[in-house]
Structure 1
């Protein structure tokens, strides 16, 4: 009985951390959703568990349009960064800078993730360093979902970091629109990537193939000159420039990242519209 009670407590905590609807729903609808989520994790909630004990914190930020099963966009982005690289440690300040999330919100989300056993932390002087807790039974599944849904810019940035001559890169199209909060009728398919610079095209295509391998979806590359966004013209230019674009951070690669595959698929030609 004690083990069962602890199991129910753990699953309920994870449900509270992740699955809170942004739209008004009845208690019975929310309870059915939470029970379904817990069953998917292999830990069905006991029938005696009270809904009011599950939903205690409702974040004011909207549920992300990109994958609207998480409580907030901020939560999903932060967890994607932390769980996406289990070897890395992050300070609160670094997480705030990388994601653009206010420091206070970072602190709140880290505390919730820590309480759910998704992250661990240690103090170095007065700095708290946070990293993924790979011993969590939820780590493998959650990290895979979060990185593929929300970690697109960081994964692409890691792969492009070895390519010389890149001035800037942006994710555009349906993924960028959802990431920016726009709703859509269909799930996001391919990732549209715009790369600006004087560069080796084959190296860019190889990096895109490596990103495809990690993200589990095709990355469609468009290469243009460094000043294309500023001085370009035409229907394609106006469409891209007039819609949401998410900058790709050019991260410094680590030795471990350099081992990622670079030929997952043959390089594809860029779009010429």
Structure 2
């Protein structure tokens, strides 16, 4: 199934291109193999290889070989690196950053991006999101969650609103209007196998 055109950064021909560039430019200290990127971004290795080849030809990615491994990293010395990184942080950055920020937070059972960012990621047209709404499910310390939200804000250059809910509340079929609204719209699952879903 063909994915919708990017609504987060419409000048890109595909959402995947934004995801690939964001992952590499927002993790500039790391070399990733084509296989690793395919797993992270949930696409085929041939898709990663093809796009990476184009980006390397124009100098936006650096390719190196280590044995049979083809390794990729952001070309941080490229003249466009700084403005491109800022643009990617504002658009596809939440997908690349929030998993890192929340990974070591105790008590997280599930985490989602909801609201306008998840809707644009899912292909719904509309204005660029002003902020990022994050729902964390689990027994998480509120202060620790607020601290992580501030870390994410610094990396993404935009407000991050983090909301905590218990596992029981999230999994119940209660009448909480907030959770009902969140469930009714696209959700981007943060963590291993990130994806957009209609709801839990």
Task: State the TM-score, normalizing by the size of structure 2.
Answer: 0.89
Q: Are 1:83 and 1:132, in contact at CA under 8 Å, matched by a contact in 2? A: yes
Q: Could you say which residue in structure 1 is the equivalent of 2:22?
A: 80
| Mapping for residues 158-237 of structure 1, pairs under 5 Å | 158-184=100-126, 186-234=127-175, 235-237=177-179
Give yes or no for contact 2:26–2:96 (8 Å, CA) kept in 1.
no
Which residue is equivalent to 1:156?
98
Partner deviation per Cα, 1:161-197 (whole Å, 9 max, x = no partner): 231111111000000000111112x221121110011
> How far 1:63 sits from its partner (Å)?
2.7
Instruction: Identify the residue that residue 241 of structure 1 maps to in structure 2.
Output: 183
Q: Report the secondary structure of 1:236's partner residue.
A: helix
> Cα distance, 1:129 vs. partner?
0.8
Q: CA deviation at 1:88?
A: 0.6
Retained in 2: the 8 A contact 1:62–1:71?
no
Q: Distance in 1 between matches of 2:27 and 2:151?
A: 16
Stretch of structure 1 that moved more, 188-197 or 236-245: 236-245
| Per-residue CA distance 1:56-90 (angstroms, 9 max, x = gap) | xxxx7543011211111111110100111111111
CA–CA separation in structure 2 for the residues paired with 1:208 and 1:130? 29
Contact 1:153 1:249 survives alignment (8 Å): no
Conserved in 2, the CA contact under 8 Å of 1:175 and 1:188? Answer: yes
Measured on the aligned residues, the alpha-carbon RMSD in Å equals: 1.5
Report if the CA contact (8 A) 2:98-2:190 is conserved.
yes
TM-score normalised by L of structure 1: 0.66
Name the CA distance, whole Å, in 2 between partners of 1:118 and 1:70: 15
Partner Cα separation in structure 1 for residue 3 and residue 132 of structure 2:
25
Partner of 2:60: 118
**What CA distance in whole angstroms lies between the structure 2 residues aligned with 1:114 and 1:248?**
28
Distance in 2, Cα, partners of 1:238 & 1:164: 26
- Shift in CA distance, 94/227, structure 1 to aligned 2, threshold 3 Å: farther
Q: Which runs of 5+ in 2 are unaligned?
A: 193-200
Number of the residue aligned with 2:44 = 102
Larger-gyration structure (1/2): 1
| 3-state SS of paired residue (2:167) | coil
- 1:154–1:249 contact (8 Å) kept in structure 2: no
Q: How many residues of Structure 1 are paired with residues of Structure 2 in the alignment?
A: 190
Q: Name the SS of the counterpart of 2:113 in structure 1.
A: strand
Q: Structure with the greater relative contact order (CA < 8 A, sep ≥ 6): 1 or 2?
A: 2
**Runs of 4+ with >6 A deviation:** none
